[in-house]
Amino acid sequence: MKYLLAIILFFSLWFVSNGQDTIFYKEIDTTKLYLEIYPSEIQQDSKNPAVVFFFGGGWIGGTRDHFRPHAEYFSKRGLTCFLVDYRIQRIHKTTPFESLMDAKSAMRYIRKNAEQFGIDPDKIIASGGSAGGHLAAATAIIKDFNDPLDDMLIDPVPNALVLFNPVIDNGPGGYGFERIGEEYLRFSPLHNIREGAPPTILFLGTEDNLIPVETVEYYKTVMENVGSRCDLQIYPEQGHGFFNYRNFDFYKQTILEADSFLQSLGFLNWSPVVKIE
| Max Cα distance, the chain (Å) | 60
Could you tell me the pTM of the whole model? 0.91
Cα distance between the two ends of the chain: 46
Instruction: Flag whether 260 is in a domain.
Output: yes
Instruction: Flag whether 259 is in a domain.
Output: yes
From CA 58, how far away is CA 61, in angstroms rounded?
A: 7
Q: Averaged over 246-250, what is the pLDDT?
A: 96
Instruction: Flag whether 270 is in a domain.
Output: no
Mean pLDDT score across all residues of the chain: 91
Report the CATH number that the domain containing residue 23 is assigned in CATH.
3.40.50.1820
From CA 183, how far away is CA 177, in angstroms rounded?
A: 9
Instruction: Flag whether 9 is in a domain.
Output: no
Residues 82, 107 contacting (CB under 8 angstroms): no
When divided into structural domains, the chain yields a total of: 1
Q: What percent of the chain has pLDDT over 70?
A: 90
Instruction: Flag whether 37 is in a domain.
Output: yes
Predicted confidence band at 43 (pLDDT cuts at 50, 70, 90)? low
- Residue 172: give the domain boundaries: 16-264
Instruction: Flag whether 69 is in a domain.
Output: yes
Query: Is the confidence at residue 1, as pLDDT, over 90?
Result: no
Residue 275 has what pLDDT? 76
From CA 208, how far away is CA 165, in angstroms rounded?
A: 8
Instruction: Flag whether 275 is in a domain.
Output: no
Those residues with Cβ within 8 angstroms of residue 261's Cβ, 6 or more apart along the chain or in another chain: 162, 201, 231
Predicted confidence band at 17 (pLDDT cuts at 50, 70, 90)? very low
Instruction: Flag whether 208 is in a domain.
Output: yes
